Structure 1
Amino acid sequence: MTQAPRYRDPATLLAELGIEEKIAMLHQHQPAVPRLGLAAFTTGCEALHGVGWIGRATVFPQAVGLGATWDTELVRRVGQAVSREVRAFRQDTENAMQKNDVAEKYPMVSLNVWAPVVNLLRDPRWGRNEEGYSEDPYATGEMAIAYCRGLRGEDPRVWRTAPLLKHFLAYNAETDRDIASATVPERVLHEYELPAFRRPIEDGAVAGVMPGYNLVNGVPNHVHPLIRSALRAWDPQLAVCSDAQAPSNLVEREKYYPSHVESHAAALLAGIDSFTDNSEDSAPTIERFTEALARGLVSEADIDAAVGRVLLMRQRTGEFDPETDPYAGIRADVIACAEHTALALEAARASVVLLRNEGGEPPLAGLSTSESSAESTSESSSESSSESVAVIGHLGSRVLTDWYSGTLPYSVSIAEALGAAVPVDGSDTVVLRSAGGAEFGPFKHVDWSTSVQCPNAVHTLQLLSSGQYLSVGEDAVVAASAATPDGWVVRELFEFEEVAAADGIALRSNATGRYVRVGADGDLVADLEAPSDVFTLQVVASGLDEAVRAAAGAEHVILVLGNDPHINGRETIDRDGLALPPHQQALLKAVHAANPATTLVVVSSYPYAIDTAIPRIVWTSHAGQELGTAVADVLTGRHNPSGRLPQTWYASADGLPDPYDYDVIGSQWTYQYSRREHLWEFGHGLSYTAFEYSGLQVARSEVALTVTLDVANVGARDGAEVVQLYTRSLDGERRPLRKLAGFAKVQLASGGREQVAFEVPVADLAFWDEAAQEFALDEGRYEVLVGASSRDIRATSIVPSASVAM
Structure 2
Amino acid sequence: MLHQHAPAVERLGLAPFHTGAEVLHGVSWLGEATSFPQPVGLGATWDPDLLARVGEVVGVELRAKHTADPSVSLNVWAPVVNPLRHPAWGRTEEGYSEDPWVTAELATAYARGLRGDHPRYWRTVPTLKHAFGYSNETDRAVTSSQLRPRVLHEYELPAFLGPIEAGVAGAVMASYNLVNGRPAHLSGDLLDLLRAATDGSLMIVSDAAAPGFVVDLQRFYGEHVESHAAMLRAGIDSFTDNDANAAPTIARVAAALDRGLLDQAVVDRAVLRQLELRIATGELDPELDPFVVGADAIDLPEHRALAREAVAASVVVLENGGALPVAPSARVAVVGPLADRVLHDWYSGTPPYLVGLGTALAGRVADVTVADGGDRVTLRAASTGALVRVSGPTHALTADGRHDADPAAQHDLTDWGDLSWTLRPASTGLLWTGGAWVVRADSTRVGGWVAQETFRRHTHDDGTVSWQHAGSGKWLRVQHDEAGTLVADGAVLADAERFTLEVVRDGRAEVRAAAEAADVVLVAVGNDPHVGGRETQDRPSLELPDGMLATWEATAGAVARVLVVVSSYPYALPADLGADAVVWTSHGGQELGNGLADVLLGDAEPRGHLTQAWPASPDEVGDLFDYDVIAGGLTSRYAHHAPRYALGHGLTYSAVAYGDVASVPSITADDAEVEVRVEVRNDGDRPAHELVQVYAQAPAHRLPFGRPLVGHARAVLAPGTTTTVTVPVAVKRLATWDVTRDRLVVEPGTYELVVGPSSAVAAGTVPLEVVGEPVPPRDWAGPVRAVDADELDDVEISAATRERGDALQVARRRSQGSATYRDGDLRGVRRFSASVSRTHDGAAGIRVDVLDAGAWHTLAELDVPATDDRYAWVPVTADVVDLPDHGDVRVTLTGAARLREVRLER
Fold shared by both chains (TM-score > 0.5) = yes
- The alignment status of 1:480 with 2:441, answered yes or no, reads yes
SS at match of 1:594: coil
Kept in 1, the 8 Å contact 2:676–2:729? The answer is no
> How many angstroms apart in 1 are the aligned matches of 2:663 and 2:773?
12
SS at match of 1:243: coil
Structure 2 length normalisation: TM-score?
Answer: 0.79
Deviations 1:498-550 (A, max 9, x none): 444x6533322111122211121321111232342422232222211111111
Structure 1 length normalisation: TM-score?
Answer: 0.89
Shift of 1:302: 0.5
Shift of 1:362: 2.3
Shift of 1:755: 4.0
Q: Aligned residue for 1:381?
A: none
- The alignment status of 1:538 with 2:502, answered yes or no, reads yes
SS at match of 1:654: helix
> How many angstroms apart in 1 are the aligned matches of 2:771 and 2:516?
64
Deviations 1:362-415 (A, max 9, x none): 241344xxxxxxxxxxxxxxxxxx7x1111011011111111012111121110
Give the alignment of 1:422-437 within 5 angstroms: 422-436=369-383, 437=385
SS at match of 2:618: coil
Farther-moved stretch of structure 1 (416-425 vs 131-140):
416-425
Q: Aligned residue for 2:451?
A: 490
Opposite residue 308 of structure 1, the aligned amino acid is L
Opposite residue 557 of structure 1, the aligned amino acid is V
- The alignment status of 1:401 with 2:401, answered yes or no, reads no
SS at match of 2:256: helix
Shift of 1:760: 2.7
Query: What is the RMSD of the two structures over their aligned residues, measured on CA atoms?
Result: 1.8
Question: Paired residue for 2:674, among 692, 699, 706?
Answer: 706
Opposite residue 489 of structure 1, the aligned amino acid is V
- The alignment status of 1:391 with 2:334, answered yes or no, reads yes
Kept in 1, the 8 Å contact 2:317–2:582? The answer is yes
Q: Aligned residue for 2:53?
A: 77
Farther-moved stretch of structure 1 (710-719 vs 233-242):
710-719
Give the alignment of 1:284-303 within 5 angstroms: 284-303=248-267
Q: Aligned residue for 2:357?
A: 414
Question: Paired residue for 1:448, among 384, 403, 416?
Answer: 416
SS at match of 2:471: coil
Q: Which structure shows the bigger proportion of residues in helix conformation?
A: 1
Q: Aligned residue for 1:364?
A: 326
Kept in 2, the 8 Å contact 1:608–1:649? The answer is yes
Q: Aligned residue for 1:374?
A: none
> How many angstroms apart in 2 are the aligned matches of 1:258 and 1:395?
49
Kept in 1, the 8 Å contact 2:633–2:640? The answer is yes
Opposite residue 497 of structure 1, the aligned amino acid is H
Farther-moved stretch of structure 1 (68-77 vs 520-529):
520-529
> How many angstroms apart in 2 are the aligned matches of 1:458 and 1:188?
37
SS at match of 1:448: strand
Question: Paired residue for 2:386, among 438, 450, 457?
Answer: 438
Question: Paired residue for 1:529, among 476, 486, 491?
Answer: 491
Give the alignment of 1:389-788 within 5 angstroms: 389-419=332-362, 421-436=368-383, 437-440=385-388, 441-450=409-418, 457-474=419-436, 476-500=437-461, 503-519=463-479, 520=481, 521-531=483-493, 532-536=495-499, 537-591=501-555, 593-611=556-574, 612-700=577-665, 701-702=668-669, 703-709=671-677, 710-788=679-757
Deviations 1:779-806 (A, max 9, x none): 4211112221112222221012327989
Opposite residue 439 of structure 2, the aligned amino acid is V
> How many angstroms apart in 2 are the aligned matches of 1:463 and 1:422?
22
Kept in 1, the 8 Å contact 2:435–2:472? The answer is no
SS at match of 1:490: coil
Shift of 1:736: 3.6
Kept in 2, the 8 Å contact 1:363–1:616? The answer is no
SS at match of 1:69: coil
Opposite residue 467 of structure 2, the aligned amino acid is L
Kept in 1, the 8 Å contact 2:86–2:624? The answer is yes
Deviations 1:751-771 (A, max 9, x none): 444443343333221111223
Shift of 1:177: 0.6
SS at match of 2:552: helix
Opposite residue 141 of structure 2, the aligned amino acid is D
> How many angstroms apart in 1 are the aligned matches of 2:232 and 2:309?
43
Shift of 1:692: 3.6
User: Structure 1 residues 667, 545: closer, same or farther in 2, change over 3 A?
Assistant: same
> How many angstroms apart in 1 are the aligned matches of 2:582 and 2:19?
42
Opposite residue 685 of structure 1, the aligned amino acid is G
Kept in 1, the 8 Å contact 2:325–2:653? The answer is no
Shift of 1:295: 0.6
Q: Aligned residue for 1:39?
A: 15
Larger C-alpha radius of gyration, 1 or 2?
2
Q: Aligned residue for 1:145?
A: 108
Kept in 2, the 8 Å contact 1:274–1:306? The answer is yes
Shift of 1:708: 4.0
**Taking CA–CA contacts closer than 8 Å with sequence separation of 6 or more, which of the two structures ends up with the larger relative contact order?**
1
Deviations 1:55-96 (A, max 9, x none): 111111100000000111111111111100010100134xxx
Shift of 1:695: 4.7
Deviations 1:575-598 (A, max 9, x none): 12211011111111221x131411
Kept in 2, the 8 Å contact 1:726–1:785? The answer is yes
- The alignment status of 1:175 with 2:138, answered yes or no, reads yes
Deviations 1:221-256 (A, max 9, x none): 111133433112213621001000000011111111
Farther-moved stretch of structure 1 (284-293 vs 606-615):
606-615
Q: Which structure shows the bigger proportion of residues in strand conformation?
A: 2
Deviations 1:121-154 (A, max 9, x none): 1111111010000000110010011111111101
Q: Aligned residue for 1:799?
A: 768
Kept in 2, the 8 Å contact 1:721–1:747? The answer is yes
> How many angstroms apart in 1 are the aligned matches of 2:276 and 2:721?
49
> How many angstroms apart in 2 are the aligned matches of 1:350 and 1:523?
49
- The alignment status of 1:186 with 2:160, answered yes or no, reads no
Give the alignment of 1:3-14 within 5 angstroms: none
Kept in 1, the 8 Å contact 2:191–2:234? The answer is yes
Opposite residue 108 of structure 2, the aligned amino acid is I
> How many angstroms apart in 2 are the aligned matches of 1:46 and 1:793?
41
> How many angstroms apart in 1 are the aligned matches of 2:590 and 2:568?
16
Give the alignment of 1:71-110 within 5 angstroms: 71-93=47-69, 108-110=71-73
Kept in 1, the 8 Å contact 2:3–2:241? The answer is yes
> How many angstroms apart in 1 are the aligned matches of 2:378 and 2:274?
56
> How many angstroms apart in 2 are the aligned matches of 1:594 and 1:691?
31
Kept in 2, the 8 Å contact 1:62–1:621? The answer is yes
> How many angstroms apart in 1 are the aligned matches of 2:40 and 2:191?
29
Deviations 1:200-239 (A, max 9, x none): 1111111010011111121111111334331122136210
Deviations 1:329-349 (A, max 9, x none): x11332110111111111110
- Count of aligned pairs between the two proteins: 739
Kept in 2, the 8 Å contact 1:461–1:470? The answer is yes
Q: Where does structure 2 lack aligned partners over 5 or more consecutive residues? A: 389-408, 776-906
User: Structure 1 residues 796, 335: closer, same or farther in 2, change over 3 A?
Assistant: same
Alignment identity in percent? 47
Kept in 2, the 8 Å contact 1:365–1:636? The answer is yes
Opposite residue 77 of structure 1, the aligned amino acid is R
> How many angstroms apart in 1 are the aligned matches of 2:151 and 2:458?
43
Opposite residue 507 of structure 2, the aligned amino acid is G
Shift of 1:260: 1.1
- The alignment status of 1:346 with 2:300, answered yes or no, reads no
